[in-house]
Amino acid sequence: ATRRPAARGDMAGGHRLLLENAQQVVMVCARGERFLARDALHSLAVLEGASLVVGTDGFIKAIGRADAIQTLFSEETFEERIDCSGKCILPGLVDAHTHPVWAGERVHEFAMKLAGATYMEIHQAGGGINFTVEHTRQASEEELFCSLQQRLQCMMRAGTTLVECKSGYGLNLETELKMLRVIERARRQGPIGISATYCGAHSVPKGKTATEAADEIINNHLPKLKELGSRGEIHVDNIDVFCEKGVFDLNSTRRILQSGKDLGLQINFHGDELHPMKAAEITSSWYSSDNQAQTFHLERHQAQLGAELGAQAISHLEEVSDEGIAAMATARSSAVLLPTTAYMLRLKQPRARKMLDEGVIVALGSDFNPNAYCLSMPMVMHLACVNMRMSMPEALAAATINAAYALGKSHTHGSLEVGKQGDLIIINSSRWEHLIYQFGGHHELIEYVIAKGKVI
Ligand code: NIG
Ligand code: FE
């Protein structure tokens, strides 16, 4: 047995967990970096023959050479110890973009797409998001909660310990709140960490224009979220809009995101997916002292728009322009790339290489939703490497520290460093790259998933 609870009587004081003698401990970063970009991606921090200690508070207490940890902690007690000989320890994976609360199967649409229908054709014929909205409106809160729990379980088994969860299949206030309550319940229950996103502007409800839908969100939905937030009933972290031709135009997008930002929500939205919308340009933030991007906007007479908004993250970006990439790099808005979307819809791949070369903070998400039924970040990293030409270190950083950055949580999540949350995975391989190299069958490879120092 490699995992043993410590002897009884050992439990008082001491520490939560000792992971001993791993072949590799992939810290990802080791100097408190909030994200990794450019050259920092070429050599992730990896320790060979190392051990790691998590305290009873669930935070990492020590990482170091196995003999050094043994000496330091020889007198200490642990609630649990795991012998990691021949195995690798990595940070828990972070999934920066999912739509996990919904009812109604859309496997029939997969068949339609295989037969040649495009995403927008199905959407405009009342399928796609609209189909899911109808079913989600009818579903009970309990039903939505149960299916969410099952999906989160699958994600955890595939190594995800922090996940962004969007609402967005209600569109009306009642169902959006139902979805956010379901997400809140899952967040309180744990053990998976959740970053909650209000995505009421995921589609324009039937019979409304984008402007009317934006008015409804700004005047009714957001004030209600504020009220529920101040009463501690629902905690929302991010605001999202599907900024797309035929969905929310640039102006409505700008108005909604700005109103969300005024409430203290982080901007994290769908941009430049199917058509170039200049979403990246207008929404990159301006806290950087570098005014190169600002000059660009002045040239384009968009200064007033660009200066208003700051986006923590923009997702998709299959159609982003060169100027959008430059603006994101300057503004440190992260790009959440979703390899499952381009794969499923046979779209052109987002230009990950160009973004990485320009210094954009690239993160990854599964985009789990009824269109892209993928709950596995190892699969996402594999697709990112093969289809978007990312290296394995780039993909791992994108699915850990940079994804945590996209959610504004990289000070506590996304790497194995002393003081960070004890979220990690142990794989049954002596080289960490197997987590990405292998495609399919990850449940056997990932031997332990640990959240806040507890095996789940
Ligand atoms: O990220 N692009 C918009 N939203 C989702 C798809 C949602 C759906 O089709 O249900 C996405 O791919
Ligand atoms: Fe999405």
373 and 423 in a single domain? The answer is: no
Q: With cut-offs at 50, 70 and 90, classify the pLDDT of residue 443.
A: confident
Cα of 365 from ligand 2 centre, angstroms: 9
Residue 425 lies in a domain: yes
pLDDT at 124: 85
222 and 262 in a single domain? The answer is: yes
145 and 265 in a single domain? The answer is: yes
156 and 259 in a single domain? The answer is: yes
378 and 354 in a single domain? The answer is: yes
Q: Is the ipTM of this complex over 0.90?
A: yes
105 and 128 in a single domain? The answer is: yes
pLDDT at 227 over 50: yes
Which of 456, 349, 449, 438 lies closest to 92 in space, CA to CA?
Answer: 449
Is residue 305 within 8 A of residue 243, CB to CB? The reply is: no
Average pLDDT for 53-70: 97
107 and 126 in a single domain? The answer is: yes
Which ligand 1 atom lies nearest to the CA of residue 370?
10
9 and 53 in a single domain? The answer is: yes
Residue 412 lies in a domain: no
Pocket of ligand 1 (CB under 6 A): 99, 128-129, 132, 242, 270, 273, 341, 367, 369-371
Q: With cut-offs at 50, 70 and 90, classify the pLDDT of residue 6.
A: low
User: Domain containing 175: what range?
Assistant: 94-406
CATH number at residue 184: 3.20.20.140
Cα of 301 from ligand 1 centre, angstroms: 31
CATH number at residue 8: 2.30.40.10
303 and 438 in a single domain? The answer is: no
Q: What pLDDT, in 10s, does the model give residues 100-118?
A: 999 999 999 999 999 999 9
Cα of 247 from ligand 1 centre, angstroms: 12
140 and 244 in a single domain? The answer is: yes
pLDDT at 7 over 90: no
- Dist CA 393 CA 395 (whole Å): 5
Q: What pLDDT, in 10s, does the model give residues 330-339?
A: 889 999 999 9
- Dist CA 64 CA 52 (whole Å): 7
Is residue 114 within 8 A of residue 49, CB to CB? The reply is: no
Which of 281, 226, 215 lies closest to 248 in space, CA to CA?
Answer: 215
Q: What is the pTM of this model?
A: 0.93
pLDDT at 291 over 60: no
Residue 411 lies in a domain: no
Q: What pLDDT, in 10s, does the model give residues 405-435?
A: 999 999 999 999 999 999 999 999 999 999 9
Q: How many CA atoms lie within 13 A of 187 on its CB side?
A: 20
Please indicate whether residue 73 or residue 124 has the higher confidence score (pLDDT): 73
131 and 83 in a single domain? The answer is: no
Q: What pLDDT, in 10s, does the model give residues 242-285?
A: 988 889 998 999 999 999 999 999 999 998 777 777 777 766 54
pLDDT at 289 over 60: no
Which of 263, 94, 266 lies closest to 194 in space, CA to CA?
Answer: 94
